[in-house]
Structure 1
């Protein structure tokens, strides 16, 4: 890992491919967009990608190493302030009971870093890690993995990758099964529940049967790793008399939690999960304490602790982590004076909810929003980094027309068991806003790697 690594231009891995290959890949993707994106989450009714973005394998390896080191620094910053999950919750100002299934007495340990996905945008040609998602409930993984391997299969069928130094990023779904098995120490054939909150706000959850059918291939893949995967709604769980969790008509050996602990809908099923955890009969991937590590106030702690770190770690933070402070009353004057260069965010938020981008707001709206955030508490003030834009190719759903446009783009690599795998690319679309999240119509895919 080199703090001064020279990152290749964002669009170069794609443009380095022969023009004839690129043209054929775009044409193939535009023709097959319905099968490529079948079953994948999107609120966008106008556009689909005609091809995935590409990154050099060397740059992707470097990015994973940087992300892994910075998540360790986040964890160490938390350990300097708290010994247990309960102490950390109080330091972060998270209300008691907000993080469901949290064991307040759980000692902070390395196992909390079993799954994480940083959100990275490139700004000025350099990755900027705007936040970390540290938890098992990482969104987008199924879609990213499914889409990129459908693209790769399509290209292979048409002979487009023959003799080309191009391949899909490693399967993040496979690496996650490896991490689940190894982290929980599961015996071969262990029955593992994958639980989702079907009452949450996510595209597709409104039709549970269809959603479960789309996810069903996961159970087949899990068998390759010695896991008998049962996919079910969390609200359907029950308990045996000896406090074992029952899913799909029988007790399970472990839980893979794919719901967010501070947004999961209360239910008798969730109560059953809590009772099984309290009884010690349900190993869970991962503990809800991991979610506290995602709190964006941890970014402010990184900057507060800068003088305690080695020169190399200081250089990593200065280069890759946007300057962040807690948004309190003493920051008001700075927030108003530097409006164009700042973003205000809820420290415990996600999916872009409550984010205020100074340069996109009037002075009055910004001041009102910042004052309200200070009064509410639990917000951060972060240096704004504008996302670099990259040329991408799209197909218009209604007409089938292929369109090229320069759009913002972000990357979210997945690391399970501290091991890099695939990545979620969130790509803007013609005429989109700067905030790249699912609710605003962003297009999602995995990535290609080039040698």
Structure 2
């Protein structure tokens, strides 16, 4: 697999006509509710274009790496509670089931790894196995809008993320014993995250409408209700108002919830009674830690030759250090961090293991040896951190539009490609790159001013070779 943007290989006349239609369309609303456009005048005029075969190959690599990540956790813990202890996790987990086993298919229902493409090779910087992944309908709609602007059949949309998630929900519900097939899509109050951005329950309910419609189309009975109106009966069964619930689409962080009037505890009671299931188990939040990538490197000798090659090819070298680590091991990481930063081809980056959105990221080349040693040492005494080989992303030419003025410009920019995996299958993608007004940041993140985009695929070509089988 050599993953490259294929835009410039398309017909010039088709590209010119496409960009003219995109300019005439003006400002697109996709991502406005998520805050992706807040304070950003410029919008991308075209998607990243990937060959269909490369996109599928990326999905196969991602799926295997995710399963290897769970394997690395299972080598260190047999239950969720044990894994939390190994990770020294102290974040409040109100819906965690400490005695629960670590099952691949349960904790890998939805993931959105962050990938930098370096000389055509995908490098996985984070696995993002997490419940609170927003913007799915916006990305699907953006891809559809791009496809409608393209004349002919040369470009197609990836499998829609929302439909894939609803299909997985329906499949999980069909396995439950008894007639229950009712899904709760809750609203909630929070001082952070998507609910806080939208401001009130009415806006959140409107935001959730595509999710409700998609799940209903998949054959599910969906009830939308606020967490504050949840209760359990004497048998531990969960009710939303007067409707009994069998599964909860819990894409909120429980430690951020405010004013739920015992609703989260009602879910916890039903979970303990075995009468309800979370679509996104809270265990997933543990596995999103970048420490898991370091464990993949610690376990290289335990992997098959094929899996070892996969990790070495697609995961930058990563090591972890933290307060629960023996001093000699921590010192070894610090020594490696100093030694490797001296080699120009392997500059290092320090990252908090459990943070996201680029928070706390420090590039080793920005510091002298003494400051770098002090930073790594002191950071590791306070929290779990990882030291990771820096990856320089390939760049693409991207045209931009300022819908307010009609101005256009072209820039060559690095990007982050974040495909979704739902039930182990790749679908959709979030693409992020800088915009014309914010080109200096080395952290390509929406919170740091990056622009949201997505991808289209070149038309599938017949495969005359032997059929490939998905490894498990």
Same fold, TM-score > 0.5, yes or no: yes
What's 2:193 paired with?
Answer: 201
Mean Cα deviation higher: 214-223 or 236-245 = 236-245
Structure 1 segment 256-335 matched on structure 2, within 5 A:
256-260=249-253, 264=257, 267=260, 268-328=262-322, 329-330=330-331, 331-335=333-337
In 1: Cα distance, 2:255 partner to 2:286 partner: 10
**SS at 1:424's partner residue?**
strand
Contact (CA 8 Å) 1:238, 1:272: kept in 2 or not? yes
Q: Is the 8 A contact 2:188 2:201 kept in 1?
A: no
User: What is the DSSP-based 3-state SS (H/G/I as helix, E as strand, rest coil) of the residue aligned with 1:134?
Assistant: coil
Q: What pairs up with 1:172-183 in 2 under 5 angstroms?
A: 172-183=161-172
Asked if the contact 1:261–1:291 (Cα under 8 Å) also holds between the matched residues in 2, the reply is no
| Count of equivalent residues | 437
Secondary structure of the residue aligned to 2:248 is: strand
- Per the TM alignment, residue 236 of structure 1 is displaced from its structure 2 partner at its CA by 5.0
Deviates more, 1:52-61 or 1:362-371: 362-371
Change in 2 beyond 3 A, CA 1:207/1:367: farther
1:375 matched residue in structure 2: 381
2:419/2:430 contact within 8 Å kept: yes
What is the DSSP-based 3-state SS (H/G/I as helix, E as strand, rest coil) of the residue aligned with 2:376? helix
What SS class does the counterpart of residue 429 from structure 1 fall into? coil
85-94 vs 188-197, greater mean Cα deviation:
188-197
8 Å CA contact 2:170–2:218 kept in 1: the answer is: yes
The alignment partner of 2:128 has SS state of strand
- Residue aligning to 1:102: 96
Q: Deviations over 1:278-334 (max 9, x none)?
A: 222211112212222222111111111101111111110000001111125412343
1:161 aligns with 2:151: yes
- The CA RMSD measured in Å over matched residues stands at 2.5
Q: Residue 356 of structure 1 is aligned with which of 347, 359, 362?
A: 362
Per the TM alignment, residue 54 of structure 1 is displaced from its structure 2 partner at its CA by 1.0
Equivalent in 51, 73, 96 of residue 46 of structure 2: 51
Could you tell me which runs of 5 or more consecutive residues in structure 2 were left unpaired when the two chains were aligned: 323-329, 460-472
CA shift, 1:421, in A, is: 1.6
Within the alignment, does 1:151 sit opposite 2:149 as a pair?
Answer: no
TM norm structure 2? 0.85
Residues of 1 paired with 2:95 and 2:237: CA distance? 16
The residue that corresponds to 1:394 in the other structure is 400
Structure 2: how far apart are the matches of 1:33 and 1:427? 20
The answer on whether the counterparts of 1:389 and 1:407 sit within 8 Å (CA) in structure 2 is yes
Within-5 A mapping of 1:28-67: 28-37=21-30, 39-41=32-34, 42=36, 43-67=38-62
- Range with bigger deviation, 358-367 or 418-427: 358-367
Bigger shift: 357-366 or 271-280? 357-366
Q: Is the 8 A contact 1:188 1:227 kept in 2?
A: no
Give the aligned partner of residue 469 of structure 2: none
* SS of residue matched to 1:257: coil
| Residue 409 of structure 1: aligned partner | 415
Matched, 1:437 2:426: no
Q: What SS does the corresponding residue of 2:101 show, helix, strand or coil?
A: coil
424-433 vs 39-48, greater mean Cα deviation: 39-48
Q: How does 1:11-160 map to 2 (within 5 A)?
A: 11=5, 13-37=6-30, 39-41=32-34, 42=36, 43-95=38-90, 98-110=92-104, 111-153=106-148, 155=149, 160=150
Shift of 1:198: 4.0
Deviation at 1:336, TM superposition (A): 4.1
- TM-superposition CA deviations, 1:152-186 (whole Å, max 9, x none): 23x2xxxx322x32111110110001111212436
Q: What is the distance in 1 between the residues matched to 2:374 and 2:404?
A: 40
1:232 Cα deviation after fit: 4.9
Counterpart in the other structure of 2:351: 345
Q: How far did 1:108 drift?
A: 1.4
* Partner SS state of residue 143, structure 2: helix
Asked if 1:426 is matched to 2:432, the reply is yes
How far 1:45 moved relative to its partner?
2.2
Q: Which moved more, 1:218-227 or 1:23-32?
A: 23-32
Counterpart CA distance in 2 for 1:28 and 1:131 is: 36
Bigger mean CA deviation after superposition, 305-314 or 213-222:
213-222
